[in-house]
Amino acid sequence: MSETDWTRQHTTSFSAADAEGNLICVTQTLGGIFGSGVVIPGTGVCMSNYLNWGDLEPASPNYLAPGKAWASVVAPSIGTVDGTGVLALGTPGSYGIMQTQAYVHYLNYGLELQAAMEAPRARLWDGARVELESRVPESTVEELKRRGHAVEMAPPLTMNCGGMQAVSFTRETGAMVGAADPRRDGSAVAA
């Protein structure tokens, strides 16, 4: 399937901050093109058909039963320091959502928000299959192969590794920074 196949692009994520430092991240997954086909009157909001990821087979981890939790890959996130929001981010990407490493690059490695978002990424698929953006150093590629991973090289930027939008807030100065992932459409704008 082509990277530009519009039929795969049915999840949206956006993050926003206001002057008081309030942060929000919303990730809307329709579950399929046009979701359930139902639009809430007067809103333009399409309802999801995400339950199609559920299963009627009792042995499945996604068995649909009353009161039973099942796997969901939507993970909009807000990072806090001492109870104050400092980072809001989210991404489309199905099971790749939890693997979008920009959060780690920003908080653990201290990269600026846009640089953290643009850093090379990987995605683990089922089993030992790993998809790496071609900007990942060759030494990392070889080490993953040595450890038994089936490495597949991807373009320099692939939406298979997410397409994050984010905003950060610095408590001390009130500064806000927005960033948009070049792997998908989107932009950072000031209101």
Amino acid at 81: V
DSSP code, position 112: -
The band of 139, judged by pLDDT with boundaries at 50, 70 and 90, is very high
Which of 17, 13, 37 minimizes the C-alpha distance to 26?
13
CA 162, 69, 49: angle at the middle one, nearest 5?
Answer: 55
Q: What is the reported pLDDT for 80?
A: 86
pLDDT reading at 59 higher than 60: yes
Angle of CA points 57, 58, 59, to nearest 5°: 95
- In tens, the pLDDT along 90-136 reads 887 776 676 677 888 888 888 999 999 999 999 888 889 999 999 99
> Does 66 score more than 70 pLDDT?
yes
> What's the pTM?
0.76
Distance CA 163, CA 117 (A): 9
Q: What amino acid is encoded at 107 in this protein?
A: L
Question: Structural domain boundaries of the chain?
Answer: 8-56+71-92+166-183
List residues with catalytic annotation: 11
| Higher local confidence (pLDDT), 112 or 185 | 112
Q: What is the mean pLDDT of the chain?
A: 83
Contact 91/116 with Cβ under 8 angstroms? Answer: no
